[in-house]
Amino acid sequence: MNRIFLFIFCVIVIGCETHTVPTSRGNPNDVAAIGQVVESFRVALMTKDKATYMSLFFSDKPEDIGWQFVSEDSRLHEVRKTIPTAVKARKIPTNTFVALINEITETNEPREETIANVCIETDGEVASVSFDYVFLANHKKINWGKEMWQLVRTEKGWKIFSVIYSVRDEWSEAG
């Protein structure tokens, strides 16, 4: 157990270029626990484990969890060719954390989100996590960008409270 904890902690600290030692009440146990939430999220998507995925969130109700994307400019330009009213960031009621796992579990094709450059900041009660992601559908790179989470520490452990992410795809300049 201690070797796994030390390994996760080192990967997170080394992978976070701007990471500083957690402030006042932050400690390596919190960083490792938050790192485990990130890893559980990644594995739950890949293995289509809806129960584990849902347990990572503060609530199972989509209206309680912030979930927002923003389109990269050149992608938005291409989207506007077919949907002139498209905007960079618009709340789409059907775009939720529940819709993501439902889409993944309802297809037989593999789905995966790769995660790199994880940065975690915490004071032991609240935390922010950011990382680079690539979303793969049937082993094909569909979109990618930066993902940022806010988490809260509850009696049941660390839970995701909100997710924001940028979306880049084949229309994006930085491919």
Looking at residue 114, which CATH number applies to its domain? Answer: 3.10.450.50
When pLDDT is averaged across residues 124-141 and rounded to a whole number, the result is 96
Tokens of residue 27, six digits: 């400690």
What span, in angstroms and rounded, lies between the C-alpha atoms of 15 and 21? Answer: 13
How many domains, in total, are found in the chain?
1
172 assigned to some structural domain: no
* pLDDT the model gives residue 84: 95
In this structure, are residues 113 and 135 in contact, taking their beta carbons and an 8 Å threshold?
A: yes
pLDDT tens digits for 142-159? 999 999 999 999 999 999
Q: Tally Cβ neighbours within 10 Å of residue 60.
A: 11
Q: What is the DSSP string of 1-55?
A: -HHHHHHHHHHHHHH-TT-----TT--HHHHHHHHHHHHHHHHHHHHT-HHHHHH
Using DSSP's 3-state secondary structure scheme, residue 73 falls into helix
pLDDT in tens, 6-54: 444 444 444 444 443 333 235 899 999 999 999 999 999 999 999 999 9
Is residue 129 a part of any domain in this protein?
A: yes
- pLDDT value at position 145? 97
- Residue 52 domain boundaries: 2-167
Residue 164 pLDDT > 80: yes
Answer whether residue 174 is part of any domain.
no
At 85-120, the pLDDT tens digits run 999 998 999 999 999 999 999 999 999 999 999 999
